Structure 1
Amino acid sequence: MHFENEVGIKIRNEWQKASLNLLYTSGFLFNGYESFFKRHGLTTQQYNALRILRDQYPTPISTSGLRDKMLDKMSDTSRLVSRLNAKGFVDVKQNPHDKRLVNIILSDKGHELMAGIDPELSLLDSLLSELNEEEAAQLSELLSKVRKSIKHASKRMRTTPVQI
């Protein structure tokens, strides 16, 4: 099925088609990730935070440090950490050097959860099983170019005056 028929709109040009196709496809990928992590009582963002904390372990990280490493920079990291703390997956302590900050570290229960998820991560890889390894690498390169293009275009959009 052609993309235009699948989404039911007339496409202006190949750049619009690529942009909309990327947005549309990211929804499918996101839903696949959400379904996977829901089986473990987590959201994709919560898993991402736990993954970062495990990579940092045993070094604690602040809320802002965690946010900087998150895939989704828009997430409310404080609320995310509160939920993970309530589930017992992280320990949160006040930073002894700066009382405005907290130190976040993966708890023993968080380590156990991550160890249980690890053997199943290949299920997430299977979301892109229609691509061979070379195609997956090519897609990653193209997506890096897309992010670079978006960063440059975003700067131009912010500085270009609006014509009324």
Structure 2
Amino acid sequence: MKVGMQIGEEIQSNKFEDNYHKAVINITYTHLWLSNTFRCKFEKHNLTQQQFNVLRILRGQYPNPATINMIKERMLDKMSDASRIVDRLMQKGLVSRCTNNKDRRAVDIRISEAGLEILSKMDEEFKTKEIFKNNLTEEEAGKLSDLLDKLRG
């Protein structure tokens, strides 16, 4: 199995306080690397990463609706403004919004046919495993995920 470029080489520095510091730098660098890798996939469909995340949440609920609070709870980026993201997706015709029948203050949000079609196309165009499979085995990806879970405590 080939080993990729080490983090010290990537950032052209080996001045880490210790392995904890090195790990934080590596996780941050890898997060940005992944974001850049996916960005072109999202831009092709005129979506941001957060919009994609909201569409995936809504597809998971489909055909049932979701509320803004449910979307906020499930979003990867907890700092995102879910209401604003839903507004943008509505403007693009990818979601619909209507008043909840049981609670008039709540708003039901559903993914539209156009939203489902975009996600279906994106599912065919790229698979997450395509990014990793040349560098990590399925077992290593599982170990990495377990270590990241452990890190977050």
- TM-score for the superposition, normalised by structure 1: 0.83
1:50 aligned residue (47, 55, 58): 55
1:66 aligned residue (71, 82, 95): 71
Q: Which has the higher contact order (CA 8 A, sep 6+)?
A: 2
Matched residue count: 147
**Aligned partner letter, 1:63:** I
Alignment of structure 1 residues 20-99 onto 2, 5 Å: 20-99=25-104
1:6 aligned residue (10, 14, 36): 10
Unaligned runs of 5+ in 1: 149-164
**Of the two, which has the highest radius of gyration?**
1
Unaligned runs of 5+ in 2: none
- TM-score for the superposition, normalised by structure 2: 0.88
Distance 2:8 2:80 in 1: 32
**Aligned partner letter, 1:104:** I
Question: Once superposed, which parts of structure 1, at least 4 consecutive aligned residues long, lie more than 4 Å away?
Answer: none
Alignment correspondent of 1:121: 126
Root-mean-square deviation (CA), in Å? 1.5
Percent of residue pairs bearing the same amino acid type: 42
